[in-house]
Amino acid sequence: MSFEIALSGINAVNNQLGSISDNIANSATYGFKSGRVTFASAYAGSQAMGVNANGNSQNIGRNGGLVNTGRALDAAIDGRGFFVSKSVAGAMTYSRVGIFNTDKDGYLVDGYGGRIQGYAKADTGALGALGDIQIPTGNIPAKPSDSLQYTGNMSAGWAVQTIPFDKNNTQSFNHSNVSTVFDSLGNKHNLTQYFCKSADSTVTAHYALDGQMLPATTDLKFDTNGKLTAPTTTVALDLGTPAGASPLKLALDYSGTTQFAGEPSTSRNASNGYAPGARTGVSLGENGEVVVSYSNDQKQVIAQLAIANFANESALSAASQTSWQESTGSGAALLSVAGSNMAGKLATSSLEQSNVDVTSELVTLMTAQRNYQANTKVISTENQVMQALMQAV
């Protein structure tokens, strides 16, 4: 019986050595979770039968450290959760390794060609259906300007103008400012506002597009505290029809404009249009947003990564390529986006390191070696005893 008990100990230690070796070998593997083999005594009734080695279980709940890579399509989950990808074979896999690329068809993929799963972004900003994430490869079209917010200070020290307005005569207006607007083709135009103080509490704005005067004017009225009292809504400004483009109309918002003492100033001068642009890069946001950048300084969120959580993540089935798959013990994947529910936020341009503690593994390795030697010593001693017994007989 001693032979069998010692042999069970050797087999158990062999399993433990395999787990330790795997941990040390993957100490530099991104997203790897260390495993361990646990032992339990084996009995048949009251008769000791040795030791059983339970299967290798990975310490999934303990996160590894984060290392900055500086790469826009690298990401680590700072908290719980797994990235979701569909393998080339069509199986859903779950991983902590956020090394992403785009393939020849523009799909966002992991390092092994599996397509990353996420939610498409609707024009309203709401989350769309779950599926493969495809990065648009074409140019972004121009957006014509349809609103302009101008906020500034019309100096209370301006003199009332007595000379008829003439854009070519700087003595006929008190101040001017140029705003950039875009037509439907993406052509840039200069909208110039000429401010003339026409009464003690009124400043009249005249407009010119690319040097051509427009018929519209706007009276900006202020109270005795220098706050704007009119117009109370946006000003509908017809800029005409640029050559080859659609009619250009603008909602001009003067809210926040003041008439205080001191020099005139402009605190906001922003339109919402832009020229067409070519794609220049793709990056990730802390909530898993897939952001496409364009040469016209515009950015578009085209999708949001799906993050999976499990009721019992320690029961996931380990697979190759530092990934896991669902099992009956883990339960079905609970999908959400980074930073919501149980899912952690993303640490962008970073990767999660292995959670293996090499020092601890080496200490455990020495302990396993002693246990192995002890069990072989038992077998050796048992063999000597049996030989002596046979000789005595």
So what's the pLDDT on residue 46? 79
Write the pLDDT tens digit of every residue in 298-344: 999 999 999 999 999 999 999 988 999 999 999 999 999 999 888 99
So what's the pLDDT on residue 164? 94
The larger pLDDT score, comparing residue 385 to residue 308, is at: 308
So what's the pLDDT on residue 33? 95
DSSP per position, 18-64: HHHHHHHHTTTSTT---EE--EEEEEETTEEEEEEEPPPEE-TTSPP
Token pair 């990975």 is at which residue? 58
How much is the average pLDDT of 14-23?
92
CATH 2.60.98.20 region(s) of the chain?
Answer: 147-271
pLDDT at 124 over 70: no
So what's the pLDDT on residue 1? 62
Instruction: Please count the CA atoms within 13 angstroms of the CA of 283 that sit on its side-chain side.
Output: 15
How much is the average pLDDT of 4-20?
89
pLDDT at 107 over 90: yes
Summary mean pLDDT of the chain:
93
Confidence of residue 360 (pLDDT cuts 50, 70, 90): very high
Fold classification of 147-271 (topology level): Tick-borne Encephalitis virus Glycoprotein; domain 1 (2.60.98)
So what's the pLDDT on residue 188? 95
141 contacts 149 by C-beta, under 8 angstroms: no
Find the angle CA(43)-CA(4)-CA(36) to the nearest 5 degrees.
Answer: 70
Helix (H, G, I), strand (E, B) or coil at 103: coil
pLDDT at 110 over 90: yes
Q: Which residue, 235, 179, 225, is CA-closest to 204?
A: 235
Confidence of residue 8 (pLDDT cuts 50, 70, 90): confident
β-sheet bridge partners, residue 303: 120, 290
